[in-house]
Structure 1
Amino acid sequence: MTTRAAEPPRPPTLDEVAVAAGVSRATVSRVINDVPTVDPRMRAAVERAIEEVGYVPNLAARSLVTRRTDSVALVISEPPDHREYAATFLNRVFTDPYFGRLTAGAQEVLRPEGIHLVIIPADPPAHEQVLRYLRQGHVDGVLLISSHAADPFPGQLADMGVATVLSARPGRPVPLSYVDVDQPAGVRLAADHLVARGRRRLGTIAGPQDMPAGQDRLSAFRDALARHGLPSPPVAEGDFTRASGEAAARALLDGHPDLDGLFVANDLMAEGAVRVLQEAGRRVPTDISVVGFDDSSAALEAHPQLTTIHQPVEEMAGEMARLLLAGLREPGRSPRTVIFSPTLVVRDSS
């Protein structure tokens, strides 16, 4: 005797929700598709009925009606003609605390709205593939981390009409909203702190000079020292990785062994620089004070812990998400710029 396997229970239908709520099938459909003109009392009744009967909306069918995917892409872009770096693109993406903080801040805003965040690295080999994916409407909008002045991605997304918000000032004018920290103000805090500590022979490890952030932090440090009547600092350039900070610190010590203060354009490079200074017998902060930028986890992992410039990355990412949601609700909205204020966090390295 053979027995038939029990058939899985049939999922509740839209009609059953309508009966439970005491409304028409069309009203249930409007609630599920988030039509704003539904009477609030009917909407509440339908939402209760959906929970009671266990109805799960067909998201694929819903997207055909609403033309929304309820997902947003966090795209981390690097231009095709990028320079050579000490670490590979994906290694930098997944080891730099900055990207994790951005992701967490965006999620805090998007998750309560029922919107999924899709993380998409877009290094040069993947550029065209990512553009096709975005052009085909797989996501509703883009939070774009584009750090390089020559990156064509922001302009391409603007030309495609994809709702996009940038994580920093773009290197070229583009009609997109962006969120940034007041870079010069942060650097001035670092310079003023070093000078207040009695440091006069100052150097800097700059970020990449093909990135607006790297450019802004270097030029602001030079300006700040000039304001204090100090000479232009010796400069070694890194790529925002720990290894590049180590290499840059060695170069600075070789040419300027008497430095007593160092401003480093991000915490990862500063952590690497501190290691090299200590290996060279320079005590931090007794012999040389070090100040980083970002206030990331690297600042706390350094020994000694880093004095640094705090930029509220999570709050900045949350504002990016809010700007994007506002743009999706109101297409054609004029681009906005939101600038956050940095603060100095004093720890043991200065």
Structure 2
Amino acid sequence: MARAGKPTQSATIIDVAARAGVSAMTVSRVINGRSGVSAETRAAVEKAVAELAYVPNAAARSLVTSAELRIGVLYSNPSAAFMSEFLTGVFEEASIRGARLVLLKGEGGRPPAAEALAKFAATGLSGIILAPPLGESVAVLQALRGVGVPMAAIGAHGVRGATCVRIDDRHAAYEMTRHLLDLGHRRIGFVLGNPDQAASAERMAGFYEAVREVDGVAVQVAQGDFSYASGLAAGEQLLDGPAPPTAVFASNDDMAAAIVSVAHRRQLDVPRQLTVVGFDDTTAAVTLWPPLTTVHQPVRRLAAEALALVASEARAPGGKQRPRRDRILDHSLIQRSSTAAPPGD
């Protein structure tokens, strides 16, 4: 069961594509009056545009007379599923905004080398997008200090000099934990994410906020870093104890998938003997058995929104910068087959 929230910001081309059931490139062709689109598809796109009150970026439709946007994208995330969604959102929105992307990748969640960051900052960028965890990296923020272009940080909290585009991590984790408690679970494991990311602390805070509302809950916590490998280690730790949890809430889908793998290796039935839930709703949530109950974080839309914000600010007359403030998008709880009441209930 998914809980749909009300839109809190202007629609993007990703939203129009989802509503019409087509690709973002098809939406672009319709908006720009290009051929190669059936009458039925064109009508569906035009209907979605009207329903969502989508306004195409005027600058992106007149590139021949406007300066080229060069948007830098910094990323280094151990979750391949998350990065696939993130990069898809960035590429699709960039194609509509007429932006050229300049990519710089770090490895394993670590920032690129200082020399690479310095060269990146000096390439004449119009704006910068930071994928987690780099939006909260001291080394990255120091290297970009003084660049003087609009920046957006995905999934970050309170980054000085950048607009943070995220969901309400704390409330999302609270809702998922309440779901586990409502199923009857009183021994619950929680797997933390990267300790250097504020989202990890927010999700843990939401977890404990829900737990404190119910008496008699035994909590076990294991440290992860959002990678599958860390989820395997956390799963072994949680399930090795004398009174292992009947439910495990992992801070992202990659770690949750690893917990399911550990359970299978121990011949534990998921969900009859162990409930497992995740966070993000990436492809990892639906490519294993059983499919994961998880928090839907609209990663693709977060990325598209970040690029739209940076592009719009970069094209603002006189380079006028807007006040920095968080953009919080809606999340939802997606219930699949990995949850059940605890054994014996």
**TM norm structure 2:** 0.72
| Secondary structure of residue in 1 paired with 2:184 | coil
Q: What is the aligned partner in structure 1 of residue 153 from structure 2? A: 166
1:198 deviates by 1.5
Normalization by structure 1: what TM-score?
Answer: 0.72
| DSSP 3-state at the match of 1:216 | helix
2:82 corresponds to 1:98 = yes
Any residues of structure 2 matched to 1:47-126 within 5 Å, and which?
68-76=67-75, 92=78, 96-122=80-106, 123-124=110-111, 126=113
Task: Give the C-alpha shift of residue 134 in structure 1.
Answer: 1.9
2:170 corresponds to:
184
Are residue 133 (structure 1) and residue 133 (structure 2) matched?
A: no
Q: Deviations over 1:69-100 (max 9, x none)?
A: 432121115xxxxxxxxxxx7xx2xx521111
Q: What's the CA shift for 1:173?
A: 4.4
Partner letter of residue 74 of structure 1? V
* Alpha-carbon contact 1:310-1:345 (below 8 Å) kept: yes
Aligned twin of 1:300: 286
Q: What SS does the corresponding residue of 1:309 show, helix, strand or coil?
A: strand
Q: How far apart in 1 are the matches of 2:322 and 2:111?
A: 31
TM-superposed CA distance for 1:210, in Å, is 1.8
Deviation track 1:21-66 (CA, whole Å, cap 9, x = no partner) reads xxxxxxxxxxxxxxxxxxxxxxxxxx9xxxxxxxxx8xxxx9xxx7
2:151–2:163 Cα contact (<8 Å) kept: yes
Structure 1 unaligned blocks of 5 or more = 1-46, 48-56, 78-88
Whole-Å Cα distance in 1 between the matches of residues 276 and 314 of structure 2?
A: 43
Quote the RMSD (CA, aligned, Å): 2.3
Q: Partner residue of 1:4?
A: none
- Cα deviation per residue 1:131-161 (whole Å; 9 max; x = unaligned)? 2232231x32111124264533235424321
Unaligned 5+ runs, structure 2: 1-61, 340-345
Provide the residue aligned with 1:349 in structure 2.
338
Amino acid at match of 2:113: A
Q: Quick one: distance in 2 between partners of 1:185 and 1:124?
A: 29
Give the alignment partner of residue 277 of structure 1, picking from 263, 267, 277: 263
On the 8 A contact 1:181/1:311 being kept in 2, the answer is yes
Q: Structure 1: which 4+ aligned runs deviate by more than 3 Å? A: 122-125
Tell me which of 312, 330, 333 is aligned to 2:322: 333
Alpha-carbon distance in 1 for matches of 2:69, 2:313? 14
**1:21 corresponding residue in structure 2:** none
* Greater CA drift, 287-296 or 330-339: 330-339
Q: Which residue of 1 aligns with 2:240?
A: 254
Q: With CA pairs under 8 Å and 6+ residues apart, which has the higher RCO, 1 or 2?
A: 2
Cα drift, residue 301 of structure 1: 1.2
Name which one, 1 or 2, has greater alpha-carbon Rg: 1
Asked if 2 retains the 8 angstrom alpha-carbon contact of 1:260 and 1:288, the reply is: yes
Give the Cα–Cα distance (whole angstroms) in 2 for the partners of residues 264 and 116 of structure 1.
36
Deviation sequence 1:252-299 (CA, Å, 0-9, x none): 111254311110100001001001012222211111111100000000
Please say if residues 238 and 244 of structure 2, whose CA atoms lie closer than 8 Å, have aligned partners that are also in contact. Answer: no
User: Do 1:108 and 1:318's aligned partners in 2 also have CA atoms closer than 8 Å?
Assistant: yes
